[in-house]
Copies of this chain bind each other. A is one copy, B any other.
Amino acid sequence: MSRRLIGLPELEDLAIGAAVLGTGGGGDPYVGKLWAQGRIHARGPVELIDADDLADDDLVIAAAMMGAPSVIVEKIPSGAELVTAFQAVEQACGARATAVMCIEAGGINSTIPFALAADLGLPVVDGDGMGRAFPEVQMVSFAAHGLAATPMAIADEHGNVTVLRSISAEWAERLGRALVVAEGGASVLAQYPVRGLDFKRTAIRGTLSLALEIGAGLRRAGRQGKVAIESLTHRLGGAVIFHGKVVQVQRETAGGFVRGTVVVEGLDTHADSRCEVTFQNENLVAIADGSILASVPDLITLLEEESAHPVTTERLRFGMRVYVLALPCAPLWREEIGLAKAGPRCFGLDLEYLPFEQRLAAR
């Protein structure tokens, strides 16, 4: 049995580490940290439990923000609506939850479940539905294994609450997104009520302890960005696939997503080369000089050169010096059932998925 307490300092590491796994999405770590710190400051630290601590019939429910990260950073909820959404799903299930879970890794979506857990006096379970961040409701390990995304509840800051029961996670995405757009572009939700047995069987385990470890590593390295990044790629089996300066950012917030591209002009070993990263909340594909370096479902994360801190897509700006990292996704996403939910074609990309390690070896 592995348990630990998440207090104010741990949240700082968690937010940064989860933003690395958030691959450009999942929300800004600074905003996410501040929000959860406020709740934990008021209510005390939150227990992080291992999936094995769950009884088979325990109920676990995910809490998250849905919408364009560019809106989320401007529209932080009061916290009350998280409790409302969570309890609406409990009521729809006719059962009380024994733990809160994160649906994805990200600066906000890995930290707000702790804010909620602090308010409810519940633990957070160490694992999530992605092991990274993805933009849509159905891109979740539970859905890949045939579990339902609903009952799902969406609550906004005005006091509107909606409970959806959909025939598929894809329909939960479509209807949920329509509501979120109508509510101003971002709202909180509770979704994927999952039994302990199913969580143990289908979650991506250990995402939160990994995020904590990544965050602590970056903190300890301080301003030694390059050292920290080498240690990170070594630990995660990743690679620096590009290094350069942001020279162009094109970004549009519409339909509940932020979509766009960032162009990085190469420096040092990448001089005379340009890398273009396309994103839909999260980074989807990195292409340099006509060849694909990495694509979803593998993780593509931009780290600011000096601090080695992750840069979310909505914070990208001209002149930033960044390293572009590729990190291997959880094994599920390289299997057929994973690629069917979150392979390149699920994002409208006309390309075959190849693990980035294979692409790298072929160059």
Chain A interface (Cβ < 8 Å from any Cβ of B):
158-167, 171, 174-175, 177-179, 181-183
> Nearest chain B CB to A161's CB is how many angstroms away?
5
Q: Are A175 and B162 in contact (CB under 8 A)?
A: yes
**How many copies make up the complex?**
2
Q: Are A175 and B167 in contact (CB under 8 A)?
A: no
Contacts of A171 in B (CB 8 A): 158, 160
| Contact of A167 (CB < 8 Å), options: B160, B164, B179 | B160
> Nearest chain B CB to A30's CB is how many angstroms away?
31
Which residue on B lies nearest to A166, using beta carbons?
Answer: B160
Contacts of A182 in B (CB 8 A): 174-175, 177-178
Most buried by B among A165, A167, A174: A165
Report the bound CA distance from A171 to B162 in whole Å. Answer: 11
Contacts of A160 in B (CB 8 A): 164-167, 171, 175
If A158-B167, A164-B160 touch, does A183 touch B175 (CB 8 Å cutoff)?
yes
| Contact of A179 (CB < 8 Å), options: B158, B159, B165, B178 | B178
Contacts of A164 in B (CB 8 A): 160-162
11 residue pairs from A and B, CB less than 8 Å apart: A160-B164, A160-B167, A161-B164, A162-B163, A162-B164, A162-B165, A174-B182, A175-B179, A178-B178, A178-B181, A179-B179
> Nearest chain B CB to A210's CB is how many angstroms away?
35
If A182-B175, A182-B178 touch, does A163 touch B163 (CB 8 Å cutoff)?
yes
